[in-house]
A and B are shown apart, each in its own frame.
Chain A
């Protein structure tokens, strides 16, 4: 069974640009979670989607947004990139909701110059 996949692996953008990160969950999983791990900092929750709806949002500005498609894959968009957005962005999926085990993708490393 295929695991959670993310693309691209690496992404280099300049300040002010927009970045789009993609995630495909494990087949049968309806929940997708996005996390940010900035250098030297711990994991921070960004967004949670389930059945196409945004269920919860972390303490991030509105320029971080996303969506979940009918096939449960998800996209994270970061507008007006700032240097401090440079981080590893991890996607995870689970069966419906946080009380199920989460399976993580390999991450997208975003570098903003």
Chain B
């Protein structure tokens, strides 16, 4: 079993829909990242969080440390949000590198 599990694997949404991508992990962590990878391969870091909630534009990330779960929400989705969204965690005290989920492929249709 992978240490970081994402759901769903694939997601198709209509433009304007509210989208939720989930990430569960089985180890103690120092922090969690949400990354976005566009079809060309480039990766952008969206959020790094260790507690609570962060918001940037139409994107919201939450984390529940006790339940070992994080969610990424996209409000008013747009075709340009189509990408692979990757959850990654820093295990333990923070001296270990990132452990990645397999990603969620999102397609937003106009």
Contact = CB atoms under 8 A, between A and B. Distances in A.
Given A98-B94, A109-B41, A43 B100 contact: yes
Contacts, number: 58
Task: Report the interface size class on chain A.
Answer: 20 to 34
A104 B100 CA distance: 14
Contacts of B31: 99
Main SS of the interface on chain A? strand
A56 B90 CA distance: 13
Interface in B22-42: 30-31, 33, 35, 40-42
B94 A90 contact: no
Contacts of A92: 43
B57 interface: no
A25 to B, nearest CB: 14
Given A42-B100, A44-B100, A104 B94 contact: no
A73 to B, nearest CB: 19
